[in-house]
């Protein structure tokens, strides 16, 4: 005879055997940060952009096999692409697996693209990725920022403030 308890046990076993297919709600836990971005740059404006990915790429993103450390964004024609973002090859992929460091198109509104383009051309600013996540619908999103590079003494100041904050937090504990 069937019981609800049997169903929950089978569901747990399924989740343990096939973690990528188990539950779509777990995608919201994916949060990949570019830790170098706030240290190397002043982040002036941030935008949320969609990203065009193939099947094996999104599976690797859901496994958090992404590195944003060396990535940057550049315009090719009227479109914005992200370069040097490393998405590891999917381990169950076949011959149709993707290249890890290929250029990937970012999806933004035309108004936002024009605004970013004029800012980067006029003031000598750059566009860097700050964070990558998967939203509630299961779509990969990328937070990009228009940023200005820090000088060496600015980096030293940010390290000092971070150390001071850490010492104050230690005293409070």
Q: Give pLDDT tens digits for 35-93.
A: 888 888 889 999 999 999 888 888 888 888 888 888 989 999 999 999 998 888 888 77
Whether residue 133 is contained in a domain is answered as yes
Residue 90 lies in a domain: yes
| CATH code for the domain of 152 | 2.40.280.10
pLDDT of the residue at 157: 83
Count of domains forming the chain: 1
Q: Quick one: pLDDT band at residue 17, thresholds 50, 70, 90?
A: low
More confident position, 44 or 2: 44
Is 61 among the domain residues? yes
* C-alpha dist (Å) from residue 145 to 38, 74, 115, 148, 149: 10, 12, 12, 10, 12
In a domain, 6, yes or no: no
Q: Tell me if 18 is assigned to some domain.
A: no
Q: Is residue 157 in some structural domain?
A: yes
Whole-model pTM: value is: 0.72
Inside any domain, residue 11: no
Which tens digit of pLDDT belongs to each residue from 98-152? 777 889 999 999 999 999 999 988 777 899 999 999 988 888 999 999 998 888 7
Structure tokens at 68: 């944003």
Q: Which domain holds residue 168?
A: 24-172
Instruction: Tell me if 142 is assigned to some domain.
Output: yes
Q: Which burial class, exposed, middle or buried, applies to 161 when counting CB atoms under 10 A from its CB (0-12, 13-18, 19+)?
A: exposed
């Amino acid at each position: 005879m069937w019981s609800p308890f049997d169903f929950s046990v089978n569901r747990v076993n399924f989740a343990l055997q096939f973690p990528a297919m188990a539950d779509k709600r777990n995608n919201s836990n994916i949060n990949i940060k570019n830790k170098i971005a706030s240290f190397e740059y002043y982040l002036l404006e941030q935008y949320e952009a969609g990203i065009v990915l193939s099947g094996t790429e999104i599976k690797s993103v859901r496994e958090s096999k992404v590195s944003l450390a060396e990535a940057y964004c550049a315009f090719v024609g009227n479109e914005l692409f992200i370069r040097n973002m490393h998405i590891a090859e999917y381990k169950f992929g076949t011959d149709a697996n993707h290249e890890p460091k290929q250029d990937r198109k970012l999806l933004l509104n035309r108004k936002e693209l024009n605004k970013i383009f004029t800012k980067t051309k006029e003031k000598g600013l750059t566009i860097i990725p700050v964070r990558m996540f998967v939203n509630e619908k299961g779509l990969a999103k990328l937070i990009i920022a228009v940023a200005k590079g820090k000088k060496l003494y600015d980096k030293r100041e940010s390290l000092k403030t971070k150390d001071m904050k850490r010492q104050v937090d230690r005293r409070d504990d």
